[in-house]
Amino acid sequence: MSRIRDALSKIEGEMRPLAPDPHPPASYEAPVYAPEPYPPAAYAPAPIETVEAPQPIAPTSPSGEGLPGIPGDFHRELSGLRFTLETALPDRATRVVQFAAAVAGEGTTTVAATFARILAQDPSQSVLLVDANLRHPGVGMFFGVPGRPGLRELAGSPALEFESSLVAVERWNLHVLTALPVSDEHGQLFQADAVRDFWARHGRHYRWVIIDAAPVLDAPETATLGTTVDTTVVVIQAARTKRGVVQRAMDVFAKAGAPVLGAVLNRRRHDIPEFIYRRL
């Protein structure tokens, strides 16, 4: 009996709460990127229509400084993408970046539009978001603005007024260029030389030009656009897209000579709590 009492006493001792650690570990804080300030682009050749953004959802960013309705981890990853792009393209006065998936349904429009919104949070950065998915335009729907003559019409007819197609959304430094849909019967929708000339004439007024492109395996024009931009970021939906499909998309870009920076994993789910991932 005495041995049983000793064992029970030992168990009770182990179950007692531990005394608080007098030196707890410091709480984790996500690194804050402080970009070199640039003067805002002096671009106001004509008045640009401004629309109100849709009513946002309550903010979920832990810092309180993120965009309303965007999960904190998604905001941090896209902010990290900005740092990666600035590091990879250090000497560009304007960074022209295309977002494209291998196949439809990967969430390219959401990723591209959200990245543009995050960039525009910095008032020193002027941002142009271009809808280049002419078969299924989504940027206008994302911001609730109608489609207008966009990249295809403006690059093909330089006489058209660029400013008349622009819409400022949410912030003074975020402009969108929507698109008019075309039928699937159309073949090559963009001429590389005309698009390069378009970036040279109009992209120079911005620090960032973000392109929401069509899936590269469904739309041959996406590889063509990839040869006119600084780099392409491939959007992949987590637990959906097979490796072979992504590899085929990468092969298409490689054969066209279009540079690809890397990939964004969209709709990723954490199997363990997020705060543990941040400590790994």
User: If we measure between CA atoms, which residue out of 266, 48, 21 comes closest to residue 175?
Assistant: 48
For residue 46, name the pLDDT band (cuts at 50, 70, 90).
very low
Cα 258 from chain centroid (whole Å): 19
Query: Between 4 and 194, where is the model more confident?
Result: 194
91: pLDDT strictly greater than 70? yes
Query: Between 88 and 4, where is the model more confident?
Result: 88
Q: What is the mean pLDDT of the chain?
A: 79
Measure the N-to-C terminal CA separation of the chain; round to a whole number of Å. Answer: 48
Find the length of the chain.
280
CATH class, domain 76-277, is alpha beta
Distance CA 120, CA 216 (A): 27
Distance CA 75, CA 65 (A): 10
pLDDT value at residue 70:
82
pLDDT value at residue 11:
46
- Pair of tokens at residue 206: 């911005």
User: If we measure between CA atoms, which residue out of 111, 102, 110 comes closest to residue 243?
Assistant: 102
Looking at this protein, which amino acid is placed at residue 64?
Answer: G
| Cα four-point dihedral sign 134, 41, 261, 275 | negative
Among the ranges 10-19, 133-142, 149-158, which has the highest mean pLDDT value? Answer: 133-142
- Contact (CB, 8 A) for 215 and 182: no
pLDDT value at residue 153:
92
Looking at this protein, which amino acid is placed at residue 172?
Answer: W
234: pLDDT strictly greater than 60? yes
Cα 132 from chain centroid (whole Å): 15
For residue 157, name the pLDDT band (cuts at 50, 70, 90).
confident
For residue 45, name the pLDDT band (cuts at 50, 70, 90).
very low
